Chains A and B, each alone.
Chain A
Amino acid sequence: MNLFHAEDPLLQVHNVTRYYGDRIGCSEVSFDLWPGEVLAIVGESGSGKTTLLNCLSTRLAPTAGAIEYRMRDGAMRNLYQLTEAERRLLMRTDWGFVHQNAADGLRMSVSAGANVGERLMAVGARHYGNIRSTADDWLGRVEIDSERIDDDPRSFSGGMRQRLQIARNLVTQPRLVFMDEPTGGLDVSVQARLLDLLRRLVADLGLSVVIVTHDLAVARLLSHRIMVMRHGNVIETGLTDQVLDDPREPYTQLLVSSILQV
């Protein structure tokens, strides 16, 4: 874990604001993300979490503010000043995006192996045998049986689809992965298994992750740092355990106390 040794931030966010007409999506958000760090953005629905995530991942241009990212050559670049070609290359090599609904992130009509291999082929891999063995290896790492490699994701269960989506994103060894409610819509036991897997992969690969979730348990398990959002503003931020054990803001206290205890 290089969390405490890294000197330079991987991602720097300065006053990112997004308006939808007169309404605020998110407002004046600033933070730094270091290599190997997992940041959770929590809040109720409509609080601007997903708007912020989309701004960060260049899927939605912010109205104001700047987002800088440290490229593999060490240079800080403003994401919205990259050319379209550079941005696409970044998104399919150095980044990953895990959607809540796996069907949005997968190519449902091609086999699992091709889904994992797509990014490799996009960056120039032209050896079928190598692509296939890499795909096979990654299916193993996300606990999908090798013999399902030629099956369509349509024939996969929800949990398997989500794991396949993760493999598809991680195959090019990205440094930063965005996750939008990766465990949403999965039942509790499948969620637990997926979280376990995610936590292991993130630690093994030293990934930086920005994860959006409304589930504080997910944040507690995965993240080092947490940002609480409400009405488009960040109202509290700090180490995950600190914020969840000793919330300062009344709204965060309310959020923490509303977790169901069994």
Chain B
Amino acid sequence: MTDTARIPESLHEQGEYNFAYLDEQTKRMIRRAILKGIAIPGYQVPFASREMPMPYGWGTGGVQVTAAILGRSDCLKMIDQGSDDTTNAVSLRGFFEKTAGVRTTCETAEASIIQTRHRIPEKDLREDQILVFQVPIPEPLRFLEPRETETRKMHALEDYGLMHVKLYEDIAKNGHIATTYAYPVKVNDRYVMDPSPTPKFDNPKIDRMAALQLYGAGREKRIYAIPPYTKVKSLDFEDYPFEIQKFDKPCGLCGAENVYLDEVILDDKGGRMFVCSDSDYCEERRADGHLGPMAADPAAARVGNTRTGETIR
């Protein structure tokens, strides 16, 4: 992943992108921020976020992080809400195919870098993989304390009582902790961090994950990281412990249990089913012969057959 610093002659010709779009100086700046982030797990490192050729909210932070760590031998996977074939994932995959010419894949096991929005793959990640998150609002205290000067001070002094005030309010108003995504965590017993808008279902996967996790927020100009095998604890109360979402039915297509499911509307007569949000995981299971209760339904089968080729733009 470090062989991009040598700039080939051909790049000086007109009309060529530098490898992975960003210039080498910018990539070095971002790498420095990433290294600092890894050294201080959960700490938000400010960086000089660049204007990217896509709107904010599309993952400009994640794209910059990916561009900075991408090498020619890498294999890239892009997911959006767990799926490889949604607009965001397809467009960003196309972006890197065009500007870096790297190999892309839909298979979790094959990828060396996975950029994601809202989900962590169901399959366990390995030490030689990197997970890059697109983050809209990196500051977990933002909606409780609007002043940036104050939130920075709170992080510095480990003054996190306010975070529990929010959870208290949840229980007082709803009878349980009603926060279901962007669920605050404490990293390595020090920094409270927002794990980006992933459902809290994925929080246990962040804890002591084998892969390196990098979080990039383009508009807010922050990068933070969780090194492999770092302790990450979801905040809770002793008498209201952290719980993940539970689904009472298995995936309609592949029959998987204990995975995160999306609701899919099948027709306008109330027909619907719940399917794996991780499309690659679901397809792999079906290829292995697992069938869910809805797999034979023609409407459901249409949903399941949207596999994209690796080069669809």
Contacts and interface: CB of A to CB of B under 8 A. Distances in A.
B168 A113 contact: yes
Contacts of B236: 126
Interface string A123-167: 100111101100000000000000001100000000000000000
A84 B158 CA distance: 12
Contact of A117 (B165, B239, B240): B165
Given A128-B237, A128-B240, A122 B159 contact: yes
A117 B172 CA distance: 12
A121 interface: yes
Interface residues of B, number: 17
A129 B171 CA distance: 10
Contacts of B165: 107, 110, 114, 117-118, 121
Contacts of B239: 127-129
Nearest to A83: B157
Nearest to A123: B161
Nearest to B240: A128
A121 B153 contact: no
A127 B238 CA distance: 5
A85 interface: yes
Given A85-B157, A88-B159, A150-B173, A121 B168 contact: yes
Contacts of B238: 126-128
A129 B237 CA distance: 9
Interface in B128-150: none
A100 interface: no
B172 A84 contact: no
B169 interface: yes
Contact of A122 (B153, B161, B237): B161
26 contacts: A84-B157, A85-B157, A88-B159, A110-B168, A111-B169, A111-B172, A111-B173, A113-B172, A114-B165, A114-B168, A117-B165, A117-B168, A118-B161, A118-B165, A121-B161, A121-B162, A121-B164, A122-B159, A127-B237, A128-B171, A128-B237, A128-B240, A131-B168, A149-B172, A150-B172, A150-B173
Per CB-CB distance, the 6 closest pairs between chain A and chain B, nearest first, are A122-B161, A121-B164, A128-B237, A121-B161, A127-B238, A85-B157
Interface of B: 153, 157, 159, 161-162, 164-165, 168-169, 171-173, 236-240
Interface of A: 84-85, 88, 107, 110-111, 113-114, 117-119, 121-123, 126-129, 131-132, 149-150
